[in-house]
Structure 1
Amino acid sequence: MKTEDIALFHRIVETGSLVEAADILNLPKSTLSRRLQTLENELKVKLFHRQSRTMTLTASGNHFYIKTTKMLATLEQTMSELTGQESEVSGHLRILIFPIPELIWITHIIFDFMDQNPEITVEIIVSAEPQNMIRNNIDLAFMLEDAFNENEMVARHIFNEKVHFFASPKYIENTAIPITIDELPNHNSILFRYPNGRVFNKVPFEEGKILSLKGNLCVNNPETCLEATLMGRGISMIPLHFAQESINNGKLEMLFKEVGPYELKYFLVYPSRRFISLASQRFIDFMMNKLNEYKHHNISIKSSPLEAQEPNQ
């Protein structure tokens, strides 16, 4: 019985379909079907109830899935311990990145990791849409807080982003500029929707105060939010460095400068119900080490890692 065939079985379980599993794994459906049949023959049990478009686990299949999940996790951990951190690692990583201002910085980190591990292949998926990480065979994701279910994910905090309120001169010309944050509910705000479907329309401030915003436009992409703000569609909350160029050229104005910024938290997350591959673990360690290096040398993560290879030199 091949461990790889057991891993393929897990992908079929998690997608619920041979066709979807084959597409994600980039394998012919016939190959996947044949290897599943081989596994069932070796086990002498039926693992799935096969229907026209979906596949559901039998009682035996469900038991096998639960038991082998722990087994695969133990195997990966053992391989990591035996090979050591200096050995070459191979495999394929599917990495989801929410379209945040640090997208390019994260991408450069991934490229750096690939250069140091030439046997690794990577697929980068940039999306603001909800993604089922297990079903879509996504190994790792960079997500905003509140954009994922903490009960189903392991989350490693990586950095914070300071967010302020902004409006364009065009918007300010057409309405009375709000003087205090208490006036915000009387203005049109550009709302933001997280990948999990939640709309960010309640903003916490100091002393436990929560401000409810309303507006006629909701977006799920930072670039769209910035463009809508520049065109005077309303007041928005945007990361400071993301809006800095527009502030410098007079196209945006920061509101409520006396109020402390709201800080968004970004996390590196991965499914808690799936074993973590050796390649994933190595990348997690690589990313956390990079962050520690930047903090130690007081380097902004807005800089490319390639520009900061030799800090303080």
Structure 2
Amino acid sequence: MRRTDHLGGITAFVTTAQLGSFTAAAERLGLTKSAVSKSVSRLEERLRIKLFHRSTRSLSLTPDGEVFLTSCQSAIDILEQAEIALTSQIAYPSGRLRVDLPAAFGRQHILPALLKIARDYPELSLTVSFSERFVDLIEEGIDLAIRISELPDSSGLVARRLTVQKLIICASPDYLQSNGKPQSLEELSQHQCIIGFRRNQPISWLFKGEHGETKHYTPPATYEFADGDAMLAAVLAGCGFAQLPLWMVGKYLKSGELKEVLSAYSGIEVPINALWPKNRQLLPKIRHVVDTLVEMAANGLLD
């Protein structure tokens, strides 16, 4: 059997172990489920050990599989470090860059910059996904992610602050004329409110307390949307109040299409960070994109 077949079996095994299913591994590798399963089976035959416990409903590593996975991951780390050592000699971005972005902010601010970089460097290929959840970059094979939130502790990631997202409460003039302007948070319960939600949970509105602390408040939801652009469309249509980032509503405030309310409760700033795995921090394709975004932020282009 050729050595490339050996490596293919190891790749199929590691990907399956990380994702927990042959189906997910096949999707990640661009193969059929059958091809991935057969590749792992051939690896087991060659090693003369069983790597997975298989059933119709679940797939789990055997003790031998867990030991072998640790060894394989160590070998992969060595190969990635070799790639970094080699590609760090190259002064321009190249290869495939996998990026995960928050939906509305990513489309409006980050995607245009990525497309320009791709045009400037034809040897760079892009895979771009949009999600609001905090993905495991290493497990899901993501090179770079942009996230709008306070960051969880993670020793395996590098974070670079780009800018902050300022939140305000706003409504359309038509809604305010018909329903009045609230003077306190408690009065929001008498109004229609547009709320974001994620993983079937409402997203609380954030406010700055008397001593600068962050407070959470979830008004009763008349409308729930899992997308920032949809929330903006609803508030512009006069459906009620929403808390939205200034970068999204700024031009509508200037034009008068939206009005800020309860400004005394504004002032919260949520960090926007670029994140990437530590073992990929020197790759030119990542470094160039991050440097570009940092420069854009310094020039106010991400606000």
Query: What is the TM-score of this pair, normalised by structure 1?
Result: 0.77
Distance, in Å, in 2 between the alignment partners of 1:129 and 1:188 is: 27
The one of 59, 65, 75 aligned to 2:63: 59
**For residues 196 and 238 of structure 1, do their structure 2 counterparts lie closer, same or farther at Cα, with a shift above 3 Å needed?**
same
The 5 A counterparts of 1:71-220 are 71-86=75-90, 91-115=95-119, 118-128=122-132, 137-145=141-149, 150-151=153-154, 154=157, 156=159, 157-180=161-184, 183-184=187-188, 187-194=191-198, 197=201, 199-207=203-211, 208=213, 210=215, 212-216=217-221, 217-220=223-226
Deviations 1:265-302 (A, max 9, x none): 223335x6xx8568x9444322321134335xx42224
Distance, in Å, in 2 between the alignment partners of 1:289 and 1:265 is: 17
184-193 or 71-80, which deviates more: 184-193
Letter matched to residue 46 of structure 1? K
- Whether the 8 Å CA contact 1:48–1:55 is kept in 2: the answer is yes
**For residues 288 and 130 of structure 1, do their structure 2 counterparts lie closer, same or farther at Cα, with a shift above 3 Å needed?**
closer
Say how many residue pairs are matched. 296
Match of residue 290 from structure 1: 292
Which residues of structure 2 form unaligned runs of 5+? none
Shift of 1:12: 0.9
**For residues 197 and 213 of structure 1, do their structure 2 counterparts lie closer, same or farther at Cα, with a shift above 3 Å needed?**
closer
Distance, in Å, in 2 between the alignment partners of 1:78 and 1:290 is: 26
SS at match of 2:240: coil
**For residues 180 and 159 of structure 1, do their structure 2 counterparts lie closer, same or farther at Cα, with a shift above 3 Å needed?**
same
Let me know the Cα RMSD of the aligned residues: 3.4
Matched-pair identity in %? 23
Distance, in Å, in 2 between the alignment partners of 1:110 and 1:151 is: 26
Shift of 1:13: 1.2
Letter matched to residue 248 of structure 1? K
SS at match of 1:101: helix
**For residues 55 and 210 of structure 1, do their structure 2 counterparts lie closer, same or farther at Cα, with a shift above 3 Å needed?**
closer
SS at match of 2:220: coil
Distance, in Å, in 1 between the alignment partners of 2:301 and 2:9 is: 40
Distance, in Å, in 2 between the alignment partners of 1:139 and 1:150 is: 18
88-97 or 172-181, which deviates more: 88-97
Deviations 1:5-49 (A, max 9, x none): 433322111222222211222113343234323433443322112
Letter matched to residue 81 of structure 1? A
Determine whether 1:241 maps to 2:247. yes
Match of residue 262 from structure 1: 268
Shift of 1:223: 0.9
Distance, in Å, in 2 between the alignment partners of 1:76 and 1:66 is: 15
Query: What is the TM-score of this pair, normalised by structure 2?
Result: 0.79
Match of residue 300 from structure 1: 300
Distance, in Å, in 2 between the alignment partners of 1:59 and 1:266 is: 41
Deviations 1:75-118 (A, max 9, x none): 21132124434167765444322213342331133224434554
